[in-house]
Amino acid sequence: MTSEPPDSPQEEPTIIWEGAGPVGPDGLTVGRTAALVGVSVKTLHHWDTIGLVRPSGRTWAGYRVYSADDVARIHRVLVYKELGFPLAQIGRLLDDPDTDARAHLRRQRSQLVDRIARLEKMVGAVDRMLEASRTGLRLTPEQQVEIFGADWQPAWVEEAEDRWGDTAQWAQYAERAAAMSPEDWKEVAAATDALNADLATARQSGVAPGSDEANALAERHRALLSRYFDCSHAMQVCIGRMFVDDPRYAAYYDTVAPDLTVWLRDVIFANAAAHGVDPETVTWE
């Protein structure tokens, strides 16, 4: 008489039964069951050890095999586990003598429907967050043009995300922008127009970079940027450098006033230097 093979975390030999794959004459092996239900062999061994799901059959060689009822119980365990129940509670639920299998299924279905509804709400919320992050604006393209003017290109937001989307400042911008209403954006646009007008007047009046008046304008400019993200003097220098390097920004400011772009950069640089920032070596923080 052969002795019972000891339980082991290793996979046991399988039997090829009439071309059906690795199954024994009385059920599925541990390995085949694990592959079928999508868990590891180690998990099934653990569930067997704690009495949660025990294979009810044996092969002719004494190895454990799972019947159709055993596999059905595994699926019920997986549903409860997905719902967040601890294994000990799952065992009590499944072994409750006052509840039949159909009652279990009805309860599981009800709980799954509730979870699906919650997940659908979460998906909707994530979609809205993604859209806010993608556009950075709670405005339609038509509203953007209406508020920021005919020269505004909604694609600029997408381009900005491509450039800075992995920075902490972009995340901060997306969060703040998503909370802003069209009225908030109109207020920002009005503040931008007012600042541009004062910059143009100062440039045409010969205000020198580094002067008190120029430094005050630089601080207004930095405060406006800080509506979107916390803009340090070093970051403002990097942005001022970009104004000159990118022909589109240069064209925008030079349309407000001739040579305004370079003058604004110099104003930003001088103000930053007064706050201990070296405009020549600074990098984005």
CATH at residue 73: 1.10.1660.10
Question: Backbone phi, then psi, for 207, in 5-degree steps?
Answer: -65, 130
- Examine residue 284 and state whether it is found in any structural domain, yes or no: no
User: pLDDT category, 41, cuts 50, 70, 90?
Assistant: very high
Query: What is the percentage of the chain residues whose pLDDT exceeds 90?
Result: 27
CA distance 171 to 168: 5
pLDDT of residue 161: 63
- Examine residue 6 and state whether it is found in any structural domain, yes or no: yes
CA distance 47 to 54: 7
Residue range 189-194: average pLDDT?
Answer: 87
CA distance 197 to 154: 23
Q: What CATH number should be reported for the domain holding residue 211?
A: 1.10.490.50
Total domain count, the chain: 2
pLDDT reading at 24 higher than 90:
no
| Largest Cα span, the chain | 109
Would you give the DSSP letter of residue 57?
E
CA distance 112 to 75: 14
Q: Which domain holds residue 47?
A: 1-79
Last residue of a domain, one of 30, 55, 79: 79
CA distance 83 to 32: 25
- Examine residue 260 and state whether it is found in any structural domain, yes or no: yes
- Examine residue 55 and state whether it is found in any structural domain, yes or no: yes
Strand pairing partners for 22? 16
Last residue of a domain, one of 79, 105, 134: 79
Q: pLDDT of 200-244, one tens digit each?
A: 999 999 999 999 999 999 999 999 888 888 889 998 999 899 888
CA distance 157 to 177: 11
* CB distance 32 to 80 below 8 Å: no
- Examine residue 94 and state whether it is found in any structural domain, yes or no: no
Q: pLDDT of 246-285, one tens digit each?
A: 887 788 788 888 889 999 999 999 999 999 999 988 887 6
pLDDT of residue 236: 92
Last residue of a domain, one of 24, 46, 79: 79
